């Protein structure tokens, strides 16, 4: 294992190229991608401290850890290379799988009291802390938990470019996807 | 490029608020979670090597900025030393605080479909892989989720009745084409 600077053009997302290693099982929203982009720009030191983890395969490097960051970097102007942890070529497949999962796993939890007491000057959502709730905001009293969600789900499968078009339209309209669809369907 | 160095555990300190400008580490864990982490480190030592602890000089010791739970696990395991990235003592203090949060932040989310399809042979729950339903998450963020890279993306719209039936009727059999046409998409 070694840390070295690698040209972005040589790094591929883990799309399942390595037999036996499934694709990176993570998703992200456009908004989160923008948040991460801002985070990387604000704290570039983090990239050096937590470099993407890659594995050399057929003349390229496959991203085992850091796929989302790499997709941000590839779209950031002026960045052509990035520090990476290059796994040893004899790393067993099973270990690659473990690293792909565990690099995103969380063994502990946020201490929400500590966050509220001592870290509230940060906009925590910008730091990838999405489920932060101020304990004081939680409903008090009658134990009336979240209402039952009896809404129906309509699923529409789109190709990536179609999706980008659709989400861009929704954004332009300034509506939630649900409201935007009602509007364009004339309902 | 920063490379991690090995530091004896006897010189590492949990961040308990010793630095007057840095609040204690805002994370918490149970003994059971700690045992699982210890087991995981034993199983995948490569990941510890790739993700050294992030530490800040404090007298002749170091305060752990990123990796407090891992320090606890390593102590429990009776390890002698840990790979560490040492932050410069003159680093901007605000930066150090950002690193505490960002090292635990999480920008994407697990793709449930892929996890259950391709990764189910791994003990995911034991590794702290929290299953959040993509659609709940998308709802929470008022955003559509995007699969990484090349795979098709499922747009999920949630409606109460009667809107659900009206939208379904209007979209008909070929929901994708009708939606794209309504939005003015040109292939």
CATH architecture of the domain with range A2-104: Alpha-Beta Complex (3.90)
Inform me whether the C-beta atom of residue A89 falls under 8 Å from chain B C-beta atoms. no
Closest residue of chain A to B160, computed from CA coordinates: A151
- Cα-Cα-Cα-Cα torsion B57, B62, B66, B71, nearest 10 degrees, comes to 170
Residue A5's CB is within 10 A of a number of other CB atoms, namely: 11
All residues of chain A having their beta carbon less than 8 Å from the beta carbon of residue B110 are 25-27, 104
d(CA A43, CA B95): 7
How many angstroms separate the CA atoms of B9 and B80, rounded?
A: 6
Q: Which of A15, A67, A154 sits opposite B167 (nearest CB)?
A: A154
pTM: 0.71
pLDDT-derived band at B110, boundaries 50, 70, 90 = confident
Is A127 an 8 Å CB contact of chain B?
yes
- For the question of an ipTM over 0.95, the answer is no
**pLDDT at residue number A148:** 53
Say whether A182 and B54 touch across the interface (CB within 8 A): no
- Distance separating alpha carbons of residues A58 and B3, to the nearest angstrom: 26
B131 touches chain A (CB under 8 A): no
Establish if A12 touches chain B: CB-CB under 8 angstroms: no
Which of A46, A99, A162 comes nearest B47 by C-beta?
Answer: A99
* SS3 (DSSP) at A31: helix
The strand ranges marked E within chain B are 5-8, 12-13, 27-28, 53-58, 61-66, 81-86, 109-110, 146-147, 153-159
Residues near A92 by beta carbon (within 8 Å), at least 6 away in sequence: none
Domain positions in chain A? 2-104, 108-137, 148-187
pLDDT in tens, B47-60: 999 999 999 999 99
Q: How confident is the model at residue B5 (pLDDT cuts 50, 70, 90)?
A: very high
Q: Which of residues 141-160 of A touch B (CB under 8 A)?
A: 149-160
Please indicate if any CB of chain B lies within 8 Å of the CB of A81: no
CB contact under 8 A, A83 and B1: yes
Encode pLDDT of A122-143 as tens digits. 777 777 776 544 444 433 333 3
- Distance, in Å, from the CA atom of B23 to the CA atom of B93, rounded to the nearest integer, reads 11
d(CA B137, CA A141): 26
Of B28, B134, B149, the CB nearest to A15: B149
Would you mind telling me the total number of residues written for chain B in this entry? Answer: 187
The residues near A94 (Cβ < 8 Å, ≥ 6 apart) are none
- The dihedral of CA A64, A69, A71, A74: what is its sign? negative
Tell me the pLDDT tens digit for each residue of A69-105.
Answer: 999 999 888 899 999 999 999 999 999 999 999 998 8
Q: What is the pLDDT of residue B140?
A: 44
B13: phi then psi, degrees, rounded to nearest 5: -125, 140
Distance from CA of A141 to the nearest CA of B (A): 23
Query: Which residue of A26, A114, A152 is in closest CB contact with B148?
Result: A26
Which tens digit of pLDDT belongs to each residue from A43-67?
999 999 999 999 999 999 999 999 9
């Amino acid at each position: 294992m070694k840390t070295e600077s690698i040209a972005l053009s040589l790094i591929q997302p883990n799309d399942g190229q390595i037999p036996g290693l499934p694709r990176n099982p993570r998703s992200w929203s456009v908004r989160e991608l923008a948040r991460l982009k801002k985070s990387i720009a604000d704290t570039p030191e983090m990239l050096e401290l937590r470099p993407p983890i890659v594995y050399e395969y057929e003349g390229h490097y496959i991203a085992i850890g850091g796929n989302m960051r790499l997709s941000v970097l590839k779209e950031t102007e002026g960045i052509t290379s990035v520090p990476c942890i290059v796994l040893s070529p004899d790393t067993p497949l099973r270990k690659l799988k473990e690293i792909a999962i565990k690099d995103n796993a969380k063994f502990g939890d946020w201490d929400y009291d500590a966050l509220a007491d001592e870290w509230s000057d940060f906009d925590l959502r910008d730091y990838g802390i999405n489920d932060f709730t101020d304990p004081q905001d939680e409903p008090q009293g009658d134990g009336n938990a979240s209402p039952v969600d009896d809404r129906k789900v309509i699923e529409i499968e789109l190709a990536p470019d179609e999706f980008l078009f659709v989400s861009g339209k929704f954004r332009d309209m300034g509506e939630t996807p649900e409201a935007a669809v009602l509007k364009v369907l004339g309902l | 490029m920063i490379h991690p160095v090995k530091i004896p555990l006897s010189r590492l300190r949990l961040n308990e608020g010793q630095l007057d400008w840095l609040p204690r580490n805002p994370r918490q864990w149970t003994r059971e979670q700690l045992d699982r982490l210890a087991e995981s480190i034993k199983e995948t030592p490569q990941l510890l090597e790739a993700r050294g602890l992030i530490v800040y000089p404090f007298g002749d010791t170091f305060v752990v900025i990123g990796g407090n739970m891992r320090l606890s696990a390593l102590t429990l395991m009776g390890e002698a030393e840990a790979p560490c990235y040492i932050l410069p003592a003159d680093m901007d203090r605000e930066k150090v605080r950002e690193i505490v949060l960002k090292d635990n932040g999480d920008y994407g989310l697990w793709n449930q479909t892929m996890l259950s399809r391709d990764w189910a042979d791994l003990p995911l729950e034991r590794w702290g892989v929290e299953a959040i339903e993509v659609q709940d998450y998308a709802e929470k963020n008022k955003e559509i989720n995007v699969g990484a890279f090349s795979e098709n993306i499922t747009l999920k719209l949630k409606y109460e009745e009667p809107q659900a039936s009206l939208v379904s009727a209007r979209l008909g059999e070929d929901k994708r084409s009708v939606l794209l046409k309504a939005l003015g998409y040109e292939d």
